[in-house]
Amino acid sequence: MFTGIVTGQGTVTARTPDPDRGVEQFTFSAPQHLAGLRLGASIAVDGVCVSAVETDGEHITVELIAETLRRTTLGLRQPGDRVNLERCLPAGERLDGHVVQGHVDGTAELIDRDPADGRHRFRVPAQLAEYLAEKGSVAVDGVSLTISAVSEPQQEQAWFEVGLIPTTLTETTLGLRHLGDTVNIEVDVLAKYAHRMLQRQSVAQPRSPEAAAQKAAEAMRGLRVPASQTAFDRAVVLDPVGVAVQQLRRGKPVVVVDDADRENEGDLIFAAAHATPELMGFTIRHSSGVVCVPMSGERARYLRLPAMVDANEDPKGTAYTISCDAAPERFAGFTTGVSAADRSTTARILADPAAEPADLSRPGHMFPLVAQAGGVRERAGHTEAAVDLCRLASVPPVGVIAELAHDDGSMMRLPALRDFADQHGLALIAIDDLQAYLDQGPSAAPGHTPGDTPGHAPAHGAAPADSAAPAGAGAHTPSSREQTADDGQRALPVAGVVPGPVVRLPTDYGVFSAQVWVEEATGHEHMLIEAAAPAGDPAKGANGAGTGGPLIRIHSECVTGDVFGSRRCDCGTQLVAALEIIQRDGGRLLYLR
Residues annotated as catalytic (active site), given as ranges: 263, 267, 292, 320, 325, 365, 382, 403
Helix or strand (DSSP H, E) at 161:
strand 159-163
Going by C-alpha positions, the residue among 142, 136, 100, 104 that lies closest to residue 6 is: 142
Residue type, 592: L
SS (H, E, C) 302-347: HCCCCECCCCCCCCCCCCEECCEEECHHHCCCCCCCCCHHHHHHHH
DSSP 8-state assignment for residue 176 = G
DSSP-derived pairing of the beta strands 587-592 and 551-556 = parallel
User: DSSP string of 71-138?
Assistant: HSGGGT--TT-EEEEEEPPPTT----S--B-S---EEEEEEEEETTTTEEEEE--HHHHTT--TT-EE
Which SS3 state, helix, strand or coil, does residue 159 take?
A: strand
Residue type, 56: D
Task: For residue 50, list its beta bridge partners.
Answer: 43
Own/partner contacts of 243-247, CB < 8 Å, gap of 24 or more, are: 243/427, 243/429, 244/389, 244/427, 244/429, 245/389, 245/392, 245/393, 245/445, 245/446, 246/393, 246/446, 247/426, 247/427, 247/466
DSSP-derived pairing of the beta strands 137-140 and 143-150 = antiparallel
C-alpha pair distances (Å), 310 with each of 330, 362, 558:
30, 17, 37
Going by C-alpha positions, the residue among 358, 361, 376, 413 that lies closest to residue 294 is: 376
Residue 157: how many CB atoms within 10 A of its CB? 10
DSSP 8-state assignment for residue 233 = S
CA-based angle 525:67:62, to the nearest 5? 90
Which spans in 532-589 are helix H?
Answer: 559-562, 571-585
